[in-house]
Every structure is written in C-alpha cells, then in structure tokens.
Amino acid sequence: MLRSCLWGLLGALCSSCLLAQNAGMSGTVTDPAKAVVPGAAVIATRVETRTEHSTVTNASGIYQFPEFPPGRYEIQAKARGFQTSIRQDLELHVSDRVTLDLELKVGSATETVNIAGVPDLVNTSDASVGTVVSHDFVANMPLNGRSRRCSAPIRSRSVEDGAA
C-alpha cells in the first residue's frame, strides 16, 4: 500500500514538472481612445523556428495564448481599419505568464507600426516568483561535499536552449 502511494506521489510530481515547461501570454487590444478592439487577429511568431500561434480577441478585446514553448517571439496584432502593430524581441521563459496589452492605430491595413524595445514584463496574475538558472551557474555551483545528484530537483524543470 505504501509503495503504491509513493508511486502515485512520484507520478503526480513528474506530471507537474512536465506541465511547467511552457509559457503563456494574454492581454487586451485597444485603439488610441483605449476602446477595446474585438475580432482582432493576434499572431505570436517564435523567432528561432518561425512557428506561428494565432488567436482572435473576444468581445472584450482580450486575447490569450495559454501554452507555448519558451523563446523569443514577435507579436502582431491586426484588425480591419487599423494599422498592423508589431512587438519585437519578446523573451519568454519557462512558466512565464505575461500580460502584454497592444494598441492599434487607426489607418490603412497596409501600414505597419513596429514597436522595438522590451517592455517591463510583470506577472500580475499571481504571486509566483521565478528566475532562469543558466547552465554555467549550475555547472559552477559549489557542491560542498555533496553529490551532483543533489541538483536533480533543479534539472527536473529545466529546458535546454532551443529545445521545445
């Protein structure tokens, strides 16, 4: 009985580690008057692989990308009667939950507004805190007489660069 409980607990822990390998993003698309833009197409393109994820804003102007691999993304928002807005170089890490509001300017759909620079990404949906631990940090971490197996919990939720 105890052994089956331990296996069940181990399975639950492993499955939660696998679920935490992705990032998510949501936000609101508005016009210059801060009115929401329903039906706007929002496309997230992963820069490294050119993989596209797309969605459409709901009646409240809200879009959501609940799960996609960490990496660098370019975000586009388009709607009829508005210029296309592009946000470049958005870096998402494992377990990030980012809120990115986008503003569309009135104009022809053939015009594009490029927004360069990285916004301050603050997680406002919950109180979780996280950081990215680089390979060099783990490799140079003092072990103080412990075995390298002690770092297994750190590696269980890691994602190699470029992997997804």
Mean per-residue pLDDT of the chain: 77
Q: Is residue 1 part of a domain?
A: no
What pLDDT is stored for residue 34 in this prediction?
A: 93
The more confidently predicted of residues 49 and 143 is 49
Residue 97 structural domain = 22-155
What pLDDT is stored for residue 126 in this prediction?
A: 66
Q: Is residue 54 part of a domain?
A: yes
Q: Is residue 51 part of a domain?
A: yes
Mean pLDDT of 155-159: 51
Q: Is residue 43 part of a domain?
A: yes
What pLDDT is stored for residue 56 in this prediction?
A: 97
In the chain, the percentage of residues whose pLDDT exceeds 70 is 59
What pLDDT is stored for residue 93 in this prediction?
A: 87
Q: Is residue 3 part of a domain?
A: no
Q: Is residue 163 part of a domain?
A: no
**DSSP states of the chain:** -HHHHHHHHHHHHHHHHHHTT-EEEEEEEE-TTS-B-TT-EEEEEETTT--EEEEE--TTSEEEEEEE-SEEEEEEEE-TTB-EEEEEEEEE-TT-EEE--EEPPBS-TT-EEEE-S-------SS-----PPPHHHHHT---TT--GGGGHHHHTT---TT--
pTM listed for this prediction:
0.62
Q: Is residue 69 part of a domain?
A: yes
The CATH number of residue 107's host domain is 2.60.40.1120
Into how many domains does the chain fold? 1
Q: Is residue 161 part of a domain?
A: no
